[in-house]
Amino acid sequence: MNTQEKIIESATVLFLEKGFDRTSVREIASKANINISLMNYYFRSKEILFETIIDLLIGKAAASLKDILDAEIDLNEKISQYTGKYIDMLIRNPLLVSFVLAVLNRNPEKLIKLKVTDNLYTTKKFSQQLNNEYLKGNIKKVDPEQFYLNMLSLISFPFAMKHLIIEKNQFSQEEFDRFITERKEIIYNTLISYLKP
Amino acid sequence: MNTQEKIIESATVLFLEKGFDRTSVREIASKANINISLMNYYFRSKEILFETIIDLLIGKAAASLKDILDAEIDLNEKISQYTGKYIDMLIRNPLLVSFVLAVLNRNPEKLIKLKVTDNLYTTKKFSQQLNNEYLKGNIKKVDPEQFYLNMLSLISFPFAMKHLIIEKNQFSQEEFDRFITERKEIIYNTLISYLKP
DNA sequence: GTCTATACGGCGATAGAC
DNA sequence: GTCTATCGCCGTATAGAC
Considering only CA atoms, name the residue closest to the C1' of nucleotide D5: B37
Phi, psi of A151 (to 5 degrees): -60, -50
Which pLDDT belongs to residue A26? Answer: 95
Could you read off the pLDDT of A143-163 as tens digits, one per residue? 999 999 999 999 999 999 999
The distance of A101 to chain B (nearest Cα, Å) reads 7
Nearest-CB residue to A105 (from B98, B111, B196):
B98
- Going from the C-alpha of A190 to that of each of A4, B79, B103, B119, B153, the distances in angstroms are 46, 15, 30, 26, 13
Can you tell me the mean pLDDT for B35-48?
96
Q: Where in chain A is the domain with CATH 1.10.10.60?
A: 3-53
**In b/e form, how buried is each residue of B87-113, taking b as 16+ CB within 10 angstroms?**
bebbeeebbbbbbbbbbbbbbeebbbe
Statement: residue A110 has pLDDT above 90: no
Select from A106, A112, A190 the Cβ nearest to the Cβ of B19: A106
Is the domain spanning B58-195 CATH 3.40.50.720? The answer is no
CA distance A159 to A180: 9
pLDDT at A105: 82
pTM: 0.92
Report the pLDDT value the prediction gives residue A119, as an integer from 0 to 100. Answer: 85
* Residue type present at position B27: E
- The 8-class DSSP code of residue B19 comes to T
Cβ contact A182–B154 (<8 Å): no
Class for the domain spanning A3-53: mainly alpha
Protein contacts on strand D: list nucleotides below 7 Å from a Cβ: 1-5, 9-15
Average pLDDT score, chain A: 93
- B17 CA to C12 C1' distance (Å): 20
* B191 close to B151: Cβ distance less than 8 angstroms: yes
CATH 1.10.357.10 domain position(s) in chain B:
58-195
A117 CA to D11 C1' in angstroms comes to 27
Tell me the pLDDT band of B175, cut-offs 50, 70 and 90.
very high
What is the number of other CB atoms lying within 10 angstroms of the CB of residue A2? 7
> A94 and A102 in contact (C-beta within 8 Å)?
no
CA of A124, closest CA in chain B: separation in Å? 11
Of B117-126, B159-168, B178-187, the range with the lowest mean pLDDT is: B117-126
